[in-house]
Structure 1
Amino acid sequence: MNKTVSIEEISYSPDSCELFECLRDLPGAALLDSSYPYAQSGRYDILAANPVCAAPLPPTGTNSATWRNYFDELADFHRDRYGASQGVAQDLPFCGGILGYLAYDLGNPLNQVEGSTGDYSSTGLAAYDWAVVQDHLLQRAVVVTQPTVSAATQRDILSRLRRRSDTPGSAFRLKAPFKSNLSETEYREAFHRIQAYIQAGDCYQVNLAQRFQSTYEGDPWQAYRQLRQVAAAPFSGFLTLGDDDALLCLSPERFLSLQGHHVQTSPIKGTRPRHHDPAADHLAAAELRRAEKDRAENLMIVDLLRNDLGRSCVPGSIHVDALFEVQSFPTVHHLVSTISGELSPERTAYQLLRDSFPGGSITGAPKRRAMEIITELEPDPREAYCGSLMYISADGRMDSNIAIRSLLCSDNQIRCWGGGGIVADSQWQQEYQETFDKVGKFLTALEAL
Structure 2
Amino acid sequence: MRTSIYKFIKEPLQFKQQLVAWGQQFREISFLDSNSFSNEYSSFDCVLAVDAFTSMKTDYHNAFEDLKQYQQTTKDWLFGYLSYDLKNDQEHLQSNNYDGLDFPDLFFFQPKKLFLLKGNQLEIKYLNMCDDEVEDDFIDIVNSQKTGVENQNKIAIEQRIPKQNYIEKVSKLLEYIHHGDLYEANFCMEFFAKNAVINPLEKFLRLNEISQAPFTVFFKNDKQFLLSASPERYLKKEGVNLISQPIKGTSKRFLDPLEDEKSKNTLAEDPKERAENIMITDLVRNDLSRTAEKASVEVKELCGIYSFLQVHQMISTVTSKIDPQYTAVDTIRTTFPMGSMTGAPKYAAMKIIEELEETKRGLYSGAVGYFTPNGDFDFNVVIRSILYNQENKYVSFSVGSAITSLSIPEKEYDECLLKAKAMHEVLL
So what's the TM-score if we normalise by structure 2? Answer: 0.92
Q: RMSD of the alignment, in Å?
A: 2.0
Q: Is the 8 A contact 1:102 1:388 kept in 2?
A: yes
1:439 aligns with 2:420: yes
Using the TM superposition, give the Cα deviation of residue 313 of structure 1 relative to its aligned residue in structure 2, in angstroms: 1.2
Q: Deviations over 1:82-102 (max 9, x none)?
A: 2xxxxxxxxxxxxx5111111
Q: After superposition, where does 1:375-414 map in structure 2 within 5 Å?
A: 375-410=354-389, 411-414=392-395
Equivalent residue for 1:195?
174
Equivalent residue for 2:3?
6
Change over 3 Å in CA distance of 1:443–1:47 after alignment to 2? same
Using the TM superposition, give the Cα deviation of residue 178 of structure 1 relative to its aligned residue in structure 2, in angstroms: 1.4
Using the TM superposition, give the Cα deviation of residue 159 of structure 1 relative to its aligned residue in structure 2, in angstroms: 4.4
The one-letter amino acid paired with 1:367 is K
**Correspondence for 2:409 among 415, 418, 428:** 428
Q: Distance in 2 between matches of 1:169 and 1:159?
A: 22
**Correspondence for 2:200 among 220, 226, 251:** 220
Equivalent residue for 2:64?
71
Q: Distance in 2 between matches of 1:170 and 1:219?
A: 9
Q: Distance in 1 between matches of 2:374 and 2:151?
A: 38
- Could you list the runs of 5+ residues in structure 1 that have no partner in the other structure? 61-65, 83-95
The one-letter amino acid paired with 1:32 is L
Change over 3 Å in CA distance of 1:390–1:114 after alignment to 2? same
Q: Distance in 2 between matches of 1:26 and 1:175?
A: 27
Equivalent residue for 1:246?
225
Q: Deviations over 1:55-87 (max 9, x none)?
A: 3x3246xxxxx42xx3233222222222xxxxx
Equivalent residue for 1:44?
45
Q: Distance in 2 between matches of 1:207 and 1:439?
A: 15
Q: Distance in 2 between matches of 1:174 and 1:308?
A: 45
Equivalent residue for 2:340?
361
Identical aligned pairs, as a percentage? Answer: 27
Equivalent residue for 2:215?
235
Q: Distance in 1 between matches of 2:165 and 2:399?
A: 15
Q: Distance in 1 between matches of 2:294 and 2:127?
A: 36
Q: Deviations over 1:342-369 (max 9, x none)?
A: 1111111111111111100011111111
Q: Distance in 2 between matches of 1:229 and 1:362?
A: 25
The one-letter amino acid paired with 2:366 is G
Equivalent residue for 2:17?
17
Q: Distance in 1 between matches of 2:133 and 2:35?
A: 26
Equivalent residue for 1:143?
124
Q: Is the 8 A contact 1:6 1:147 kept in 2?
A: yes
Using the TM superposition, give the Cα deviation of residue 19 of structure 1 relative to its aligned residue in structure 2, in angstroms: 1.4
So what's the TM-score if we normalise by structure 1? Answer: 0.88
Q: Distance in 2 between matches of 1:187 and 1:237?
A: 29
3-state SS of the aligned residue for 1:9? strand
Change over 3 Å in CA distance of 1:106–1:172 after alignment to 2? farther
Using the TM superposition, give the Cα deviation of residue 286 of structure 1 relative to its aligned residue in structure 2, in angstroms: 0.5
- Could you list the runs of 5+ residues in structure 2 that have no partner in the other structure? none
Using the TM superposition, give the Cα deviation of residue 44 of structure 1 relative to its aligned residue in structure 2, in angstroms: 2.3
Q: Distance in 1 between matches of 2:145 and 2:243?
A: 40
Which stretch shows the higher mean deviation, 437-446 or 187-196?
A: 437-446
3-state SS of the aligned residue for 1:386? coil
Using the TM superposition, give the Cα deviation of residue 184 of structure 1 relative to its aligned residue in structure 2, in angstroms: 0.5
Equivalent residue for 1:32?
32
Q: Distance in 1 between matches of 2:426 and 2:281?
A: 33
